[in-house]
Amino acid sequence: MGLTEMFKGDNQLYILCILLVLKYNVCSHIEGTFLSPP
């Protein structure tokens, strides 16, 4: 099983993980910027 086949097999999970990480980073950044007192 090659790396490309592994990547194709896990592509959906990989993208989902990236989206979750980005969502978490964006949410925490927004909270830190707008919701915390100056």
Tens of pLDDT, residue by residue over 1-38, are 566 665 666 678 888 889 999 998 888 877 777 766 65
Residue written as tokens 């980073």? 25
Put residue 25 in one of left, alpha, beta given phi > 0 → left and psi -120 to 50 → alpha: alpha
Domain ranges in the chain are 3-35
Note the pLDDT of residue 20: 92
Look up the pTM and report it: 0.50
Q: Which one, of 15, 22, 20, lies nearest residue 7 by Cα?
A: 15
Note the pLDDT of residue 32: 77
CA distance 18 to 26: 12
CA distance 28 to 17: 16
CA distance 17 to 12: 9
